[in-house]
Chain A
Amino acid sequence: DAKTTQPNSMESNEEEPVHLPCNHSTISGTDYIHWYRQLPSQGPEYVIHGLTSNVNNRMASLAIAEDRKSSTLILHRATLRDAAVYYCILPSGGGADGLTFGKGTHLIIQP
């Protein structure tokens, strides 16, 4: 299984950009990099995913390193509602199909 490494927690101020890093040095050539977040007492929510090129959507941007061994989720202007656990995920490979979630990064937003 491809593994990811994320900081346990990060803190940022409201209305400032947030850069959430993820290392995935064992990524294979066909693995998409997925990001999800989980707000308190809710199910995980899809944020963004990409393969090689940087990706943008209404929620965030995903910057992928050229060697694909790391990526960064960028929240351009954090709000209090962005406080959540953010998961960087690679496909789980063998066993049950689907995505395997790690510990994620607990993002704290200060007003």
Chain B
Amino acid sequence: DTAVSQTPKYLVTQMGNDKSIKCEQNLGHDTMYWYKQDSKKFLKIMFSYNNKELIINETVPNRFSPKSPDKAHLNLHINSLELGDSAVYFCASSQEGSGYNSPLHFGNGTRLTVT
């Protein structure tokens, strides 16, 4: 069983479009995250979210918005896609709120290509 699953695995779209990436975890974790890995392979946290609080990295454009229909899902919506949004996006989850003393479990990523 896949612990953290993301769909789609690949997403190719044009500039200006709106797209979503879905994430589901079956670990019963309280907190979920979205990370972005750019072409230079740097992994940057975008959001962390539990059922009480959304914490946003201040560098993330407001075109990006996480939506959580329930504790097991955290989807990423991106409006007005730009070329610079091309990257691999990883979803993750952890048992405790911060991941400080609780391992992060990552999905296998969604490679987004904006043309």
A15 CA to B109 CA, complexed, in Å: 30
> Residues on A close to B: CB < 8 A?
31-32, 34, 36, 38, 41-46, 49, 51, 85, 87, 91-92, 95-101, 103
The answer to whether B106 touches A98 (Cβ under 8 A) is: no
The answer to whether B104 touches A101 (Cβ under 8 A) is: no
A80 CA to B94 CA, complexed, in Å: 29
The answer to whether B104 touches A46 (Cβ under 8 A) is: yes
The answer to whether A91 touches B98 (Cβ under 8 A) is: yes
The answer to whether B107 touches A101 (Cβ under 8 A) is: no
A95 CA to B54 CA, complexed, in Å: 11
Taking a contact as CB atoms closer than 8 A, the residue among A31, A32, A87, A96 that contacts B45 in the complex is A96
The answer to whether A100 touches B44 (Cβ under 8 A) is: yes
The answer to whether A49 touches B43 (Cβ under 8 A) is: no
Q: How far is the CB of B56 from chain A (nearest CB, A)?
A: 6
Q: How far is the CB of B48 from chain A (nearest CB, A)?
A: 4
Contacts of B45 in A (CB 8 A): 92, 96-100
The answer to whether A32 touches B106 (Cβ under 8 A) is: no
Q: How far is the CB of B33 from chain A (nearest CB, A)?
A: 5
The answer to whether B101 touches A98 (Cβ under 8 A) is: no
The answer to whether A98 touches B42 (Cβ under 8 A) is: no
The answer to whether A95 touches B58 (Cβ under 8 A) is: yes
The answer to whether B57 touches A95 (Cβ under 8 A) is: yes
Contacts of B56 in A (CB 8 A): 96
29 inter-chain pairs at a CB distance below 8 angstroms, sorted by A residue, are A34-B103, A42-B109, A43-B109, A44-B43, A44-B92, A46-B104, A46-B105, A49-B101, A49-B103, A51-B101, A91-B98, A91-B99, A91-B100, A92-B45, A95-B55, A95-B58, A96-B45, A96-B47, A96-B57, A97-B48, A97-B55, A97-B99, A98-B45, A98-B48, A98-B92, A100-B44, A100-B45, A101-B35, A103-B41
